[in-house]
Each structure stands twice: as structure tokens, then as C-alpha cells.
């Protein structure tokens, strides 16, 4: 393995989500994940789902080409294992089976279409980096088309629930203006509150958010990237900023990723709904997620990673 010392592995994972297709190449040393390459591209998978329900031939070719490039970059960086995982859009696209076959043919890497529970377990592993779970925690990945909730505690089985509550989906249904009007933000907040009622009952000692929506919200609130937390006050600030800035202005002034800028209002609404649902005034935003979870799980369990996800979600020693 290129550039690896004893006990180290370099792995790669690509997450095919609704908002972006994201590559991570990282060195894994015990329970530490050290990113080497972290990049993404917007390919409109979520929009295809909400549109005609198919990615189509041109879209499939573009996706396969992007993944072939990612696989090449990962191999050149020394990755000994490459894992492609598809989430909400691959669960719903009508031509998902063709996508899986064409990606395999173009890259030599199998594409795993994950169920909600599998996605949530990988997300949890990404947050903990495989360390044993020591307190009751709720981890939520707010995606473009869905949100994954997983609750776990010491000696308590992990429970995962996926809701069709995503920032891009919510935006598409309730927002036409750029920037969104206060009436549109009110509709977002109402719809998010109604949807999150179906989230699992829990009394977590900590709530952790992952994903691009949460990390980009940190960019627009005071000291967000420093404290890595979002409070009730931060969300009110975020709503005001979103209402006062076009998507282009959010990108230019706050360095929000272009694919996230227009959906930040919906993201803030979902975070607010989660905080109200669980009666907390603060949540933590973590860097780890599905990609990190896949890299760590494969490094630890090898080809059997998918069969062992529930076990791996509780963490391990050594």
C-alpha cells in the first residue's frame, strides 16, 4: 500500500446522495481518520428523483464518468479499498439497477445501495470512528432527500429510522423565491415540525448532526465553525440571514457551498424541529458521516463490513 506504515490503511468511499456525490480518501490509524482527499460534485440525483424519477442515459454516463475519475484518484492516492454507497436517490430512482451495473462496468467498484438502517449505522460509525459508545446519543444526518436518525447507548441496541425529510425536498415543495420570503420560511418550519414527529422517541444525553447541510449552517452563524454547535439563537440568526441573502450572496459572503446555499433555510427548519422534538437548546455538528463510516468499517471488517454493520455501530476496542 503506497505510503502506509504498519497498522495504517488508506481507504476511499464515495457517497451518492441527493445533493452531491462526495469522495473521501483517508488514512485510518486505529480509530483516527485522516483525510487525504475530500471533494464533491453536484450531479442532480435528488432533482432526478423529484422530476421524472429516472436519471436517464446522459445522467448515468455523467455519473459513471465522475465515479471512474474518483476511483482513479483514490487508487493513485494509495487506497487499498474503495467503497461506493448509494443512499436516498438510489433507493428511489427507477433506473437504479442500470446505474449499479453501469458504474460497476465503468469503474470495477461495486455500488452498494444502502437501506435507511444501513445508512444510519454507517453514519454513526463515522461520528464515533468506531470507538465504543459510552453514553446515550442521537445522531442525525440531514440529507437532501431524507434524514437518517439513529439512537444508541451503552448496552442498548442501535435503532435507526429514516424519514423522507430532506433539505432539498423541503425546499422544492415550499420555496419559489430567492431569497425565500418569511412566509416561505414559516411553511418550511411548519412542514419540518410535522415530519419530525415520526422520529424515534429518545432522551439522548447528546444530539449530533452530520452532513453538508449542518456544516454549512455553521458558516453563517457567529463563531459556528469554531464552536461546532448550533443553538436556538443561532437558528434564528440563520433564518434572518437566509431571508436577507440570495443563494449567490450566501456563497460569496459566507463561502457556503453552491449546492447548499438555496436549501439552507430548509436545513435550519429541520434542525429547529429536531431540537424542539427532543427538548434541547443545543446540538453538536460533527465532521464524520457516511463516508468516514464506510472507510472505517471496511478497514476494520473488510469485505464483511455490510453484514456486520449493527455490531460495528456499537464500536470496538483496539
Full DSSP string of 264-308: HHHHHHHHHHHHHHHT-SEEEE-S--HHHHHHHHHHHHGGGTTTT
122 located within any domain: no
| Domain that residue 239 falls in | 130-285
Number of folded domains that form the chain: 2
Is residue 7's pLDDT more than 70? no
Closest C-alpha to 138, from 298, 46, 275: 275
Task: Looking at the structure, tell me whether residues 182 and 63 fall in a common domain.
Answer: no
Task: Looking at the structure, tell me whether residues 146 and 260 fall in a common domain.
Answer: yes
Task: Looking at the structure, tell me whether residues 68 and 209 fall in a common domain.
Answer: no
Q: Within a 13 Å sphere around the CA of 15, how many CA atoms are in the beta-carbon half? A: 31
Task: Looking at the structure, tell me whether residues 140 and 90 fall in a common domain.
Answer: no
The string of pLDDT tens digits covering residues 118-149 is 988 998 999 989 998 888 999 998 988 889 89
316 located within any domain: no
CATH number at residue 96: 3.30.420.40
Is residue 95's pLDDT more than 60? yes
The string of pLDDT tens digits covering residues 32-61 is 999 999 999 989 898 898 888 999 999 999
CATH number at residue 179: 3.30.420.150
Task: Looking at the structure, tell me whether residues 157 and 227 fall in a common domain.
Answer: yes
313 located within any domain: no
278 located within any domain: yes
Task: Looking at the structure, tell me whether residues 30 and 84 fall in a common domain.
Answer: yes
Which distant-in-sequence residues (6+ apart) come within 8 Å of 25 by Cβ? Answer: 10, 11, 12, 35, 36, 37, 38, 73, 74, 77, 79
Burial degree of 281 (CB within 10 A; 0-12, 13-18, 19+): exposed
Residue keyed to cell 469522495 = 23
The string of pLDDT tens digits covering residues 215-263 is 999 999 999 888 999 999 999 999 999 999 999 999 999 999 888 899 9
216 located within any domain: yes
Amino acid at each position: 500500500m503506497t505510503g502506509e506504515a504498519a497498522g495504517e490503511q488508506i481507504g476511499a468511499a464515495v457517497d451518492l446522495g441527493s445533493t452531491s456525490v462526495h469522495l473521501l480518501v483517508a488514512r485510518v490509524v486505529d480509530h483516527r481518520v485522516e483525510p487525504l482527499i475530500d471533494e464533491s460534485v453536484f450531479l442532480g440525483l435528488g432533482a432526478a428523483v423529484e422530476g421524472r424519477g429516472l436519471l436517464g442515459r446522459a445522467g448515468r454516463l455523467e455519473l459513471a464518468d465522475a465515479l471512474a475519475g474518483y476511483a482513479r484518484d483514490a487508487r493513485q492516492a494509495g487506497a487499498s479499498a474503495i467503497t461506493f454507497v448509494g443512499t436516498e436517490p438510489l433507493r428511489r430512482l427507477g433506473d437504479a439497477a442500470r446505474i449499479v451495473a453501469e458504474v460497476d462496468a465503468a469503474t470495477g467498484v461495486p455500488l452498494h445501495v444502502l437501506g435507511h438502517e444501513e445508512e444510519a449505522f454507517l453514519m454513526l460509525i463515522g461520528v464515533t470512528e468506531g470507538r465504543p459508545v459510552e453514553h446515550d446519543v442521537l445522531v442525525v444526518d440531514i440529507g437532501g432527500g431524507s434524514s437518517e436518525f439513529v439512537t444508541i447507548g451503552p448496552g442498548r441496541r442501535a435503532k435507526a429510522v429514516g424519514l423522507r425529510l430532506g433539505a432539498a425536498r423541503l425546499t422544492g415543495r415550499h420555496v419559489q423565491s430567492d431569497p425565500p420570503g418569511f412566509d416561505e420560511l414559516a411553511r418550511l418550519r411548519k412542514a419540518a415540525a410535522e415530519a419530525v414527529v415520526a422520529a424515534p422517541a429518545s432522551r439522548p444525553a447528546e444530539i449530533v448532526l452530520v452532513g453538508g447541510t449542518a456544516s454549512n449552517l455553521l458558516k453563517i452563524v457567529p463563531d459556528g465553525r469554531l464552536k461546532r454547535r448550533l443553538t436556538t439563537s443561532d437558528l434564528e440568526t440563520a433564518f434572518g440571514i437566509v431571508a436577507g441573502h440570495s443563494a449567490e450572496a450566501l456563497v460569496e459572503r459566507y463561502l457556503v457551498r453552491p449546492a447548499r446555499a438555496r436549501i439552507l433555510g430548509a436545513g435550519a427548519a429541520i434542525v429547529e424541529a429536531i431540537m424542539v422534538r427532543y427538548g434541547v437548546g443545543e446540538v453538536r455538528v460533527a465532521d464524520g458521516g457516511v463516508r468516514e463510516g464506510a472507510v472505517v468499517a471496511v478497514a476494520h471488517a473488510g469485505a464483511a463490513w455490510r453484514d456486520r454493520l449493527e455490531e460495528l455501530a456499537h464500536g470496538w476496542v483496539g
